[in-house]
């Protein structure tokens, strides 16, 4: 069967959107898309710009707050944009809504939705896990539901599915711009939409009617030629891109895909590529409009959008001659299936090279678990192709050599693959179907069969594989691949197995080789369009009473942070000099800590417990300079804070990569932090620090990171002269040494400096409201 299910072709009708606006979502009668207006804005900017535009530029510029006067220089201009949608997931929505409540604004100014996908723990199966989550998280769900009703926000109940999949099914559209409080919001790229992952307070700003501010991204072009082979998938495109760009190479950039190879890709397949752009640090990704997008819109009840997008498709692709800051070329015909890992999503291996990759390593080769699904790979196409592998194995008499866990992305997907027998094929070989939720992908996975500290290997179709990411076990070696490769490997149980060339013995001793997987991009009978878990907001929520128990250890009302005291100098304790990779998982762990995402005091007890201390090479073990003893990071931070002293974190490269979790900035602020000084930082985390009134500072000379020793005392000066482009002076004294100095830079705008002075961005918003 072909990968792309074809539907009737729509002849372009240039005047279609001029006559009428198109409803943006079947669920929202009062949201509209006007492609004619967007086209006029693009034409206006093109004349002003004086050169051809990339697709990413077209979408950005058509959402500018100030079309006439905005500076448009890549890599330096600060863009002020008007996104058309905000999306929040339940873990981050708690703090975002607690902050929004303090603004006094009675109703969100931009269409917003909350999705309950992160708090459901994978353990026993869909029914049991969902029932347990509803019982355990009742007060959180009650708070979110009442807050959504009060402020005019759509609420997707537990069981509805993963944020990005539901957005794709219900809200995303070609040429749009949205933000979401999750780093994988760029999943919307599969429908030609710029979806940008942000922190919770950035979302609050937009919900309150303020523009979204971001440095003008550079544009990386990825030219696709050829066609995917029988075993290769769109997952392998982004796994290959990750090997080229690494986890930092996309920082400050939008990745724009193009070329003849992009024309035949399915919408959900392109969503996979956009989703994992977060793993290379990209602001977001985007694909030009193609028939795959139109077919998907048709089948998900948005045919009017498909017709309008077809009519204006000339503005849903780059202009001829558009310039890119970098071009990467990938011949899909030569692209092998890839496996990336362990411990980082950019350590990339063609499946044919896994034997070489494993050689000399201490990686366990036996696979202890195989997992498919997640927001990255849970489409009809993904699951149908995985099921075809399972069917071949069953017919050959093979048995699973490890547990196989299946996570449908949404109730719509689950109901559709269940109707079409796809889910039965996966269950018939012993697969366990989990709830429509993030589960193990975000650390919500209970594994009683594997004790913490036990070395083991897992393979998954997820997007992220940092240390301890899936199960909280730092000894779990996590590898990422396509769902069909993961499924095939589950029947071999061996990391070195190549499904394309290697054989498995049947029970009778004969050899069996898999044939290439078969599947379709879209269901021939259409999707099971279910709204069982959808809750539309009431027209007026003024009388809704918020469900907040003052005695709760899950939801805590917030207290504003103090404003800056205005002093030019600030003495600081060095809380920790972080060694090596430090993601937001290290700064604010997930897993069991998710339950405290709405309680700042409690969630702050996980502050930096995963970060490795440069002094002793241990996690969650730092020296208290007053006692001389080693203690946990939260304990020492609290000690300094409660004794009236502020502190700083010193870190290396790409500090704060990974999830967009705002707690990784809120907790340091709450615990007495003043600054984070690093060689470099991930975009979302840097902005989160700014939003909470912390100073994100950078070593002008990267060698200064090495020169600062554990136990050093720090002093920042030139604070009273903070301005865009200014420098800050760091004076540090290592134990037993003379004072040394290092120059620090920052990227703060005037507006962001005001956040620092006010104590937080929320304080400035609150004063204006």
Among all residues, which ones are annotated catalytic? 117-118, 182, 464, 659, 661
- The pair of three-digit structure tokens given for residue 351, joined into one six-digit string: 């499946």
Alpha-carbon distance 727 to 724, whole Å? 9
Query: 55-67 b/e with 16+ CB inside 10 Å = b?
Result: bbbbbbbbbbeee
C-alpha closest to that of 633 among 650, 615, 619, 653 = 619
Alpha-carbon distance 608 to 665, whole Å? 11
Q: Are 166 and 160 in contact (CB under 8 A)?
A: yes
Alpha-carbon distance 35 to 386, whole Å? 38
Alpha-carbon distance 225 to 630, whole Å? 56
User: Distances from the Cα of 560 to the Cαs of 111, 604, 614, in angstroms?
Assistant: 26, 16, 33
User: Distances from the Cα of 130 to the Cαs of 23, 414, 532, 767, in angstroms?
Assistant: 33, 14, 14, 41
C-alpha closest to that of 678 among 644, 700, 651, 707 = 651
User: Distances from the Cα of 116 to the Cαs of 121, 439, 693, in angstroms?
Assistant: 12, 12, 29
366 bridge partner residues? 494
Q: Are 240 and 348 in contact (CB under 8 A)?
A: yes
Which H/E stretch holds residue 131?
Answer: helix 126-136
Alpha-carbon distance 374 to 440, whole Å? 8
- The pair of three-digit structure tokens given for residue 348, joined into one six-digit string: 């990339």
- Other Cβ atoms within 10 Å of 440 Cβ, number: 27
- 4 by Cβ neighbours in 10 Å (0-12 / 13-18 / 19+) ranks as buried
- The pair of three-digit structure tokens given for residue 30, joined into one six-digit string: 């009062």
Which H/E stretch holds residue 432?
Answer: strand 432-433
- Other Cβ atoms within 10 Å of 518 Cβ, number: 17
> Helices marked H in 404-515 — which ranges?
411-419, 422-428, 483-492
Alpha-carbon distance 520 to 382, whole Å? 9
Strands 456-460, 367-373: pairing kind: parallel
Q: Are 679 and 651 in contact (CB under 8 A)?
A: yes
Which H/E stretch holds residue 577?
Answer: strand 570-577
Residues in contact with 212: Cβ distance below 8 Å, sequence separation at least 6, in sequence order: 80, 81, 82, 83, 179, 196, 198, 202, 205, 206
């Amino acid at each position: 069967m072909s990968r792309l299910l074809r539907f009737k072709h729509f002849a372009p009708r240039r005047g279609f959107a001029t006559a009428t606006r198109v409803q943006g979502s079947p669920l929202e009668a009062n949201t509209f898309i006007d492609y004619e207006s967007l086209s006029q804005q693009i034409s206006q900017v093109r004349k002003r710009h004086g050169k051809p535009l990339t697709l990413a530029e077209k979408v950005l510029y058509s959402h500018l707050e100030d079309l006439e006067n905005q500076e448009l220089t890549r890599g330096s201009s600060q863009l002020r944009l008007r996104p058309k949608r905000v999306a929040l997931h339940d873990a981050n929505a708690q703090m975002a809504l607690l902050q929004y409540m303090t603004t006094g604004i009675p109703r969100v100014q931009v269409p917003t939705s909350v999705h309950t996908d992160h708090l459901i723990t994978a353990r026993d199966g869909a029914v049991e896990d969902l029932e347990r989550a509803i019982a355990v998280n009742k007060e959180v769900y009650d708070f979110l539901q009442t807050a959504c009703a009060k402020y005019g926000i759509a609420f997707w109940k537990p069981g509805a599915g993963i944020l990005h999949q539901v957005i794709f099914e219900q809200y995303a559209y070609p040429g749009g711009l949205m933000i979401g409080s999750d780093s994988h919001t760029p999943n919307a790229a599969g429908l030609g939409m710029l979806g940008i992952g942000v922190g919770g307070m950035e979302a609050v700003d937009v919900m309150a009617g303020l523009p979204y501010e971001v440095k003008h991204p550079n544009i990386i072009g990825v030219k696709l030629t050829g066609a995917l082979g029988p075993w290769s998938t769109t997952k392998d495109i982004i796994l290959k891109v990750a090997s080229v760009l690494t986890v930092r190479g996309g920082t400050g950039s939008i990745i724009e895909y193009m070329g003849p190879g992009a024309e035949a890709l399915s919408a959900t397949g392109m969503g996979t590529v956009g989703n994992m752009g977060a793993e290379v640090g990209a602001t977001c990704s985007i694909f030009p409009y193609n028939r795959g997008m139109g077919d998907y819109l048709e089948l998900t009840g948005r045919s009017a959008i498909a017709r309008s997008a077809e009519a204006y498709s000339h503005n849903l692709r780059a202009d001829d001659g558009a310039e890119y800051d970098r071009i990467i070329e990938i011949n899909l015909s030569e692209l092998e299936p890839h496996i990336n890992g362990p411990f980082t999503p950019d350590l990339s291996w063609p499946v044919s090279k896994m034997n070489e990759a494993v050689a000399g390593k201490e990686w366990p080769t036996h696979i202890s678990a195989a997992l498919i699904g997640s927001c990255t790979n849970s489409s009809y196409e993904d699951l149908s192709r995985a099921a075809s592998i399972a069917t071949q194995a069953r017919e050959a008499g093979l048995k699973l050599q490890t547990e196989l866990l299946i996570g449908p992305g949404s109730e719509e997907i689950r109901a559709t693959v269940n109707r079409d027998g796809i889910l039965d094929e996966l269950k018939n070989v012993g697969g366990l179907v989990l709830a429509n939720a993030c589960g193990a992908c975000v650390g919500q996975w209970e594994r009683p069969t594997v004790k913490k500290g036990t070395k083991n290997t897992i393979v998954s179709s997820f997007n992220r594989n940092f240390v301890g990411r899936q199960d909280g076990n730092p000894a779990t070696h996590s590898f990422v691949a396509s769902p069909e490769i993961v499924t095939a490997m589950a029947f071999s149980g061996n990391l070195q197995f190549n499904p394309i060339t290697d054989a498995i013995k049947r029970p009778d001793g004969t050899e069996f080789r898999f044939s290439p997987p078969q599947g379709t991009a879209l269901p021939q009978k259409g999707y099971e369009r279910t709204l069982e878990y959808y809750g539309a907001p009431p027209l007026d929520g003024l009388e809704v009473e918020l469900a907040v128990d003052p005695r709760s250890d899950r939801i805590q009302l917030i207290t504003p942070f103090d404003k800056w005291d205005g002093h030019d100098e600030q003495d600081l304790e060095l809380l920790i000099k972080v060694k090596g990779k430090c993601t937001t998982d290290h700064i604010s762990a997930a897993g069991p800590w998710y339950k405290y995402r709405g309680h700042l005091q409690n969630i702050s007890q996980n502050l930096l417990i995963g970060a490795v201390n440069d002094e002793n090479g241990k996690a969650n073990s730092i020296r208290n300079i007053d006692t001389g003893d080693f203690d946990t990071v939260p304990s020492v931070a609290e000690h300094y804070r409660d004794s009236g002293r502020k502190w700083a974190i010193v870190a290396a490269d790409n500090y704060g990569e990974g999830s967009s979790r705002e707690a990784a900035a809120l907790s340091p602020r709450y615990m007495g932090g003043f600054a984070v000084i690093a060689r470099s930082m991930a975009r979302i985390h840097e902005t989160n620090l700014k939003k909470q009134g912390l100073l994100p500072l950078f070593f002008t000379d990267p060698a200064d990171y090495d020169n600062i020793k554990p136990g050093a005392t720090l002093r920042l000066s030139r604070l009273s002269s903070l301005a865009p482009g200014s420098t800050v002076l760091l004076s540090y004294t290592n134990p037993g040494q003379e004072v040394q100095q290092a120059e620090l830079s920052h990227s703060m705008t005037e507006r962001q400096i005001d956040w620092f002075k006010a104590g937080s961005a929320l304080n400035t918003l609150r004063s204006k409201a």
